[in-house]
Structure 1
Amino acid sequence: MPRAVYVLAIGIFAMVTSEFVVAGLMPQMAAGLDATIPRIGYLITAFAVAMAVGGPFLTVAVLKLRPKPALLVLFGVFLTGNLLAATATSYGAMVVARVITGVAAQAFFGVAISVCSALTREEVRGRAIAVAMNGLMLGTLLGLPMATFIGGHMGWRAAFWAITALTVLAAAAVVVGVPRMDRPGVAGASFRDEVRVLRRPRLWLVLTTSTLIIGATFSAFSYFNPILTEVTGFEEGTVPVLLIAYGAATVIGNTIVGRLADRRTVGVQVAGLALNVLFLTGFALLADVGAAAVILMTGIGLVGVTMNPAMVTRVQRAGNAGPLVNTVHSSFITLGIIIGSSVGGILVDTYGLRSPLWLGAALAALGLLSLLPESGRRRSPVEV
């Protein structure tokens, strides 16, 4: 595995930590910015919407750059947003900061995955993507608790300063660890070629599957805390430990899927979605049983966001490994997060805290249906 793949994982880790940091510091940020908790919650939405809408446009802007300069430019934009967040004195300034960092993060994901693909042979590309995506899993497992701890003991601004320092470290690692690539444009891609690929109907079906996979998972993940405390009955202090267990499960699942993604691309997604239907349905039925709730929540961690390597591999086969395709894919993933969390919130108000779990099960079932046309296709041995 090229060293650069591990280096890119550090960059993804920094950006995912920034994405999640607001969730762990809502009370402190509300007090510091003279805003309500719901308004601070909108900062999470602003980041996600900026990722989904703005990321592809920033990717287009760096398409003509070589891979390493493109990555460094995106680090620069992201660093600017984080500095603005660390020094923000008003809610409006923080919204601008979150939009800037969201757009930069999405574009970085797309370019980084393209660089991973360009540096590795096709038969191990899924494993390389899994290694890079471990930055995302570790952001959930370690980044969020780290930022929450720093913010809780040193103030919420300190958490953003820590992410800024981590970003500088990741950029330095890219300078040293990512080789010079002399292809014309990021991963050899041109804007015209990228747009032409986006016209393929099959690619849009594949992108829709990714939205459903992530939407199913985040409809549950977004509400783990209130479900575990108000329905299952765990103490508030126990929930962080349970979320660490969930994060550890995502790291394990991501590694396993990465090993299988190249040769069992569709089969891995079928198995993952089928298991997630079972886990989400079981959690909805047994949320008031402590041991069952923990086991089922951990199961969701094993087969939810961990589908990323198989999702990326399938998208690249339906389209290409270019940065715009990868960034658009990330936007569809972000759309799944927005759908799962927002629709889940609407259902909670009407039907109670178990309803997001039922929503997740329904989205996972739709994901299975979206794979039926692909399952019927005749595939080569590496596309099974």
Structure 2
Amino acid sequence: MSTSTASVPTTATSAPRFPLGALLLLSLAVFVTVTAESLPAGLLPEMVAGLQTDPLGVGLLISVWALTVIVTSIPLARLTARFDRRLVAAGALAAFAVANAATALAPTYEVAVATRIAAGVAHGLFWAIVIVYATSLLAPSHLGRGLALVTAGGTVATLAGLPAGALIAQLLSWRWSFGVLALVAFALAAAIAIRLPRRTPEPALPRAERPTGADASLLPIVLFAAAALVFALAQFGTFTYVRPLLEVAAGAPAAQIPVLLFGYGAAGLLGVVAAGPLADRWPRASLVVALAGLAAAFGILSVAADTPLMYVALAVWGLTIGAYFPLQQSMLMRIATDRTRTLASAGTVVTFNVGIAAGPWLGDLVGGAAHPTGATALSAGAVLIALALVVAALLTATPRRLA
């Protein structure tokens, strides 16, 4: 396979127009998958009663999903690497729809666990391929904006998907929440398979013509993957305890908490919107500034949460969280070669989920709900480590891939 240093696949150069419709379909699919990932947290009392379990059992439905993604994403990405990426994405979504329909019909807790594992497998494969597929639809000048639009579905899921799922559960049943997601996912799978263009990887070169030695993009990809792990650890090490952080450390009135959380989410959406043009014009500087800003925000929350600076820090936190993922993904796709692009996407999914799994545990060790500023201090240090890893990745990447 070619080791060309082109910043995006060659197929993108033949389609200079911004493929808005295709990207919106992919963004909606991201919205559905991210909503389902954490939906049990929004349906906690209903699922406890319906599955005759306890809150810990419902929480494990999220944990087992993350563990499944960690274990299966890279093997499945490698297994499907030679297939049309459009059909892989559509097939993963169709399997995801079936698994969520099975969760909606699960008669027992044990069956629900099995269906969540199946959904996690499909989710991991979809996330391993969706950024690669979206990149193949984009011209180089549109890469940042295009990937920001696709990943915006995840931010909107936090703002609207979980509240919508909780509302459906209250009006009808928690089973309907999963059932609606299944129906939407199946419709999106069909639309992607029918309406979006084929993207089949280039055939492998004859053995005699294949390049020898490691791909030059592997080191920066590994460094970016490590940064994603530490970044997720920082985010979930503090966000898990955001309520006590605002109520105990900041002393915010209970009535103000929903407003503060909404402001945080709105800032995150603004970060996604800003990330697109920033990633296209100043990709390296924007990523570094975002991480530096996030470290500063966590630092302020650690030492001055009970001052008006808390509002500034909360807004910067949301803004940088929203911007980080599209900024990093667009940078990864610029750095990676044809040989490593799928690995880069899948590897980031895996390490990010490791950080999600470890973050709440480490946050609890340093203070948790009782002393949330201990978690913010941990997060500030972790973001500084992520920043160092990103800088190292940028310094080791071939400059031509960052054009």
TM-score scaled by length of structure 2: 0.85
- Does the 8 A contact of 2:275 with 2:327 survive in 1? yes
What do you get for the CA RMSD once the two structures are aligned? 2.8
2:242 is equivalent to residue 213 of structure 1 = no
Which residue does the alignment assign to 1:141? Answer: 159
CA–CA distance in structure 2, aligned partners of residues 81 and 75 of structure 1: 10
Which residue does the alignment assign to 2:306? Answer: 288
User: What is the 5 A alignment of 1:56-205?
Assistant: 56-181=74-199, 183=201, 197=215, 200-205=218-223
CA–CA distance in structure 1, aligned partners of residues 396 and 199 of structure 2: 36
CA–CA distance in structure 2, aligned partners of residues 263 and 333 of structure 1: 26
Q: Return closer, same or farther for 1:286/1:152 CA change in 2, 3 Å cut-off.
A: farther
Which residue does the alignment assign to 1:38? Answer: 56
CA–CA distance in structure 1, aligned partners of residues 178 and 243 of structure 2: 23
Which residue does the alignment assign to 2:323? Answer: 306
**For structure 2, which runs of at least 5 residues remain unmatched after alignment?**
1-17
Query: Given the alignment, which residue of 346, 359, 362 partners 1:343?
Result: 362
2:262 is equivalent to residue 244 of structure 1 = yes
Q: Which moved more, 1:270-279 or 1:211-220?
A: 211-220
**For structure 1, which runs of at least 5 residues remain unmatched after alignment?**
none
- Does the 8 A contact of 1:77 with 1:101 survive in 2? yes
CA–CA distance in structure 1, aligned partners of residues 279 and 401 of structure 2: 9
- Does the 8 A contact of 1:9 with 1:131 survive in 2? yes
Matched residues, percent identical? 24
CA–CA distance in structure 1, aligned partners of residues 255 and 181 of structure 2: 25
Which residue does the alignment assign to 2:73? Answer: 55
- Does the 8 A contact of 2:23 with 2:150 survive in 1? yes
Q: Return closer, same or farther for 1:132/1:167 CA change in 2, 3 Å cut-off.
A: same
- Does the 8 A contact of 2:94 with 2:185 survive in 1? no
Q: Return closer, same or farther for 1:75/1:353 CA change in 2, 3 Å cut-off.
A: same
- Does the 8 A contact of 2:27 with 2:153 survive in 1? yes
Task: Using the TM superposition, give the Cα deviation of residue 123 of structure 1 relative to its aligned residue in structure 2, in angstroms.
Answer: 2.5
Give per-residue Cα distances to partners, 1:123-142, cap 9 Å, x unaligned: 32121110100111111111
User: What is the 5 A alignment of 1:7-22?
Assistant: 7-22=25-40
Give per-residue Cα distances to partners, 1:53-94, cap 9 Å, x unaligned: 212222233323212221221012211210121111222212
Task: Using the TM superposition, give the Cα deviation of residue 169 of structure 1 relative to its aligned residue in structure 2, in angstroms.
Answer: 2.9
- Does the 8 A contact of 2:283 with 2:331 survive in 1? yes
Partner amino acid for 1:9?
S
TM-score scaled by length of structure 1: 0.89
Partner amino acid for 1:360?
S
Q: Number of residue pairs matched?
A: 379
2:383 is equivalent to residue 361 of structure 1 = no
Partner amino acid for 1:331?
V
Q: Return closer, same or farther for 1:162/1:361 CA change in 2, 3 Å cut-off.
A: same
- Does the 8 A contact of 2:238 with 2:375 survive in 1? yes
Partner amino acid for 2:64?
A
Q: Which has the larger radius of gyration?
A: 2
Q: Return closer, same or farther for 1:305/1:7 CA change in 2, 3 Å cut-off.
A: same
Task: Using the TM superposition, give the Cα deviation of residue 182 of structure 1 relative to its aligned residue in structure 2, in angstroms.
Answer: 5.1
Task: Using the TM superposition, give the Cα deviation of residue 21 of structure 1 relative to its aligned residue in structure 2, in angstroms.
Answer: 0.7
2:319 is equivalent to residue 320 of structure 1 = no
Q: Return closer, same or farther for 1:343/1:25 CA change in 2, 3 Å cut-off.
A: same
